[in-house]
Amino acid sequence: MRKKLFIKTFGCQMNVYDSARMADMLAPLGYDAVQSPDLADLVVLNTCHIREKAEERVFSELGTIRPLKAARAGKDPMVIAVAGCVAQAEGDLIIERAPFVDIVVGPQSYHRLPELIARARRIAAGAEGAANCGGRRQPGLGVLDVEFPPVPKFDSLPPPRATGVSAFLTVQEGCDKFCSFCVVPYTRGAEYSRPARDIVAEARHLVASGVREVTLLGQNVNAYHGEAPESAEGSWGLARLARGLAEIDGLRRIRYTTSHPGDMGADLIAAHGDVAQLMPFLHLPVQSGSDRVLAAMNRRHSAAGYLRIVEDLRRAQPAMALSSDFIVGYPGETDADFEATLQLVRTVGFAQSFTFKYSPRPGTPAAAAAQLPETVKDERLQELQALLREQQAAFNAAAVGKVVEVLVEKAGRKPGQLSGRTPQFQPVHFSAPPGRSDVGAGSIVGVRIDGAALNSLDGSPAESDVGATTRQPERANA
Ligand code: 5AD
Ligand code: SF4
C-alpha cells in the first residue's frame, strides 16, 4: 500500500540535498511525497541549527504537526521524524519539549531511516517496547539515534532521482575548521570527502536523467580531497574533480558551494580560467573585514588575504562574480571593526550576499563571550545590507544591453516566458523564442538583457543565439 511522506526542509542546500536523498530512499518502500503534512503517514522535519531562529522554527513546526498526529491516533498512527542538525545537537531537548516525536536522527545517519521507521511503527503498534530500540533509549520515545556512524551514509543510498536541469551533488561533508561562532563541526562531524569515482558516477547518472548543471556541495567544498578514481593516483582536489566532471558529455555547467578562503588553492583559481563549464560565480564567505574580528572568529585568513584571492580569481576569470556571508555584531566588534567590513565590501563589489546578526550557539566558544546590544547589531545589519543591495542592483544593471547565455530551467512567471540563470547566477525571465518548440528546460539560449531588478533580470531571445544548445557556455559580462 502506498504511503504519504511529507518532508519539510530548513536551512542550507546540504539539507535540500539530504531531503531529496531521503525521499529517494523511501520511494521504493512505498512513500510518495506530498506537499502538506495533513494526511501524511510519515513527517520528516530536516532541521537547521546554525542560528537560534532556525532552531525555534523547528519547535513551532512541531507545534503545528502535533494535533495532526493526535487526530490520527489509533491503528495507523503518523510517524514523526526530526532529522538534521537540531536532531544531532538537541536530541534530548526535542524529547523533552516534543515527546510525541518518534525518531530523532542526525545528518550522518538518515540512511538508517527505513529501519528506524519500521521500529517506530512497531513501537506505536505496541509490538516492541521503547526499551528494546537501538541507539539511545528514552521512555515514551520510539528511537533516538544521534551518534555519528562509522560508515559514511553515501554507501547506503540509492542513486538519486533527478528532477529538473540543475541538481545538487554532495561531495564533501563536515568541517574541521571550528570557526568560533559555528555549530557545523559539532552537528555534521569531521571533514569527509566522497571518493571521486562515486561523484563522477552520480554526476553521469544525473546527466543521463536530464541534468545539465551540477552544484557540488560541501560545508567546506574546496577542502575536497577524495580518493582518485584509480586509487593508486592518491587523491583528487576540487580543481581536479571539476576537470574530471567537465569531461562528462552533456554536463554544461559546474558550480560549487560553500568555500573557505583558506582552501582557495592556485589550482582551483586556475581552473576558473580554463574549465569552460566552471561558472564565473563563487560564494566565498568572508564573515568580516576586520583582522581583529577574523582572528577572534578563528577564521585563519586576513582581510588582505581575502582580497588577494579575489584579485587572483578575477585575473584568471575577468567575469568572476563574488558572493559572501557576513556576520555583524560578533562579540567585541567595534565601530572601527564594522567600518573595516564596509571597506572590504566597497573594495570587492559583491554580486550578492547573505548577512546575519551574530547568534550565540550552545557549545561554541563565542557563545560564552559578552554579547553586543541587539540595537547595535540591528543598526549594523541595516547599514551593511543597504550597501550590499546597492552593489547587487549595480551588478544586475550592468548586464542590461548585453547578450548572456541562459540555461533554461523552467517556464517563466508569465505565459510565454522561460526562466533560467546566467553564468553569474542571476535569475532571468525572458520571452520564449517564437516558433522554437525545441527551446525549453535544458537549452542554453542567448538572451539580450532588457531590464534589471534587484533579484532578477528580464530579457528577450537574441536572434543569432537562439537554440544554441550544443555550444559550451561562454563568459558573459566579461
Ligand atoms: N551567528 C550568525 N551567523 C552564523 N553563521 C554561522 N554561524 C552563525 C552564528 N552563530 C553564518 C555564517 C555562515 C553562514 C552559513 O551562517 O555567515 O557562513
Ligand atoms: Fe562553520 Fe567555519 Fe566550518 Fe564554515 S568553515 S562550516 S563557518 S566552522
Q: At what angle do helices 196-208 and 238-246 cross, to 10 degrees?
A: 30
User: Among 222, 327, 341, which residue has the most ligand 1 atoms within 8 Å of its CB, making it the best to mutate?
Assistant: 327
Q: 79 with 43: CB under 8 angstroms?
A: yes
Residue 185 CB less than 6 A away from ligand 2 = yes
Q: 131 with 122: CB under 8 angstroms?
A: no
Q: Which ligand is nearest to the CA of 327?
A: 1
Distance (Å, whole) CA 442 – CA 166: 9
User: Residues 134, 138, 141, CA angle at the centre, nearest 5°?
Assistant: 85
User: Among 13, 186, 188, 220, which residue has the most ligand 2 atoms within 8 Å of its CB, making it the best to mutate?
Assistant: 220
pTM of the entire predicted model: 0.90
Instruction: Give residue 202's identity as a one-letter amino acid code.
Output: E
Residue 361 CB less than 6 A away from ligand 1 = yes
Residue labelled with grid coordinates 561562532: 181
Full set of structural domains in the chain with CATH: 3-145 (3.40.50.12160), 154-397 (3.80.30.20), 403-465 (2.40.50.140)
Contacts of residue 70, Cβ cutoff 8 Å, sequence gap at least 6: 100
CA dihedral 181, 186, 191, 193 (to 10 degrees): -120
Collapsing DSSP states into helix, strand and coil, what is residue 348?
helix
Which grid cell is 235? 587523491
Bridge partner residues of 411 (DSSP): 418
Distance (Å, whole) CA 125 – CA 102: 12
Atom of ligand 1 lying closest to residue 359 CA? 1
| CB atoms closer than 10 angstroms to residue 423 | 25
Which is it for strands 417-421 and 403-411: parallel, antiparallel or unpaired? antiparallel
Q: How far is the CA of 289 from the centre of ligand 1 (A)?
A: 15
Residue 219 CB less than 6 A away from ligand 2 = yes
Beta strands in 57-108 (DSSP E): 79-84, 103-105
- Predicted confidence at residue 281, as pLDDT, reads 98
- Predicted confidence at residue 145, as pLDDT, reads 61
Atom of ligand 1 lying closest to residue 326 CA? 17
- First vs last C-alpha separation in the chain: 55
Spans of the chain below 50 pLDDT: 131-142, 465-478
Which grid cell is 72? 490520527
- Predicted confidence at residue 78, as pLDDT, reads 92
- Cis peptide upstream of residue 64 (ω within 30 degrees of 0): no
Residue 124 CB less than 6 A away from ligand 1 = no
Residue 185 CB less than 6 A away from ligand 1 = no
| Residue of the CA atom closest to atom 17 of ligand 1 | 325
